[in-house]
Amino acid sequence: MADSKSVYVIDDDEIFHFIIRKLFLQCGKDPNSLEIISFYSAEDALEQLRRPGPLPALIIVDINMQPMNGWAFMKAFGELKHTLPKQIPVIMCSSSIDDKDIQQVNDTPELAAYITKPLDKKKLEIIEKYL
């Protein structure tokens, strides 16, 4: 068995968590080699990142969440990432096609990629490049 990796999925939508798990399974990802860890708030994910222990191979974060949205998460993560022992790519995955959000994506070098919802197998291939 390959080394186990984890992916933090930060989204307040339970259906999105279900869909991403399902897509990884449909694409042949072994659940023993890839653990999807769900966070329904950005604050909880940041708290986990501050704790000692294994870090995720990848973070997937939504823009539109409450009380802390994806942009606030990115700002806090930017301040935290220098204290982490490894770099963690972050993919923003959102239904937003707002020009303001797209411009902010382009202005955020910490983001590895931006993917629009709904997810499908083609978009999952983009995510898998970072694992």
Residue 43: other Cβ atoms inside 10 A = 16
The hierarchical CATH code for the domain 5-128 is: 3.40.50.2300
> With bands split at pLDDT 50, 70 and 90, how would you rate the model's confidence at 97?
confident
Peptide bond into 118 cis (omega under 30): yes
Per DSSP, the three-state class of 68 is: coil
Residue 10 has pLDDT above 70, yes or no: yes
For the segment 26-60, what is each residue's pLDDT rounded down to a tens digit? 877 766 788 999 999 999 999 999 999 899 999 99
For the segment 73-96, what is each residue's pLDDT rounded down to a tens digit? 999 999 999 999 999 999 999 998
**pTM for the predicted model, two decimal places:** 0.92
E strand intervals along 5-79? 5-10, 34-39, 58-61
For the chain, what is the largest distance between any 2 Cα atoms, rounded to a whole number of angstroms? 44
| Contact yes or no for 7/60 (Cβ under 8 A) | yes
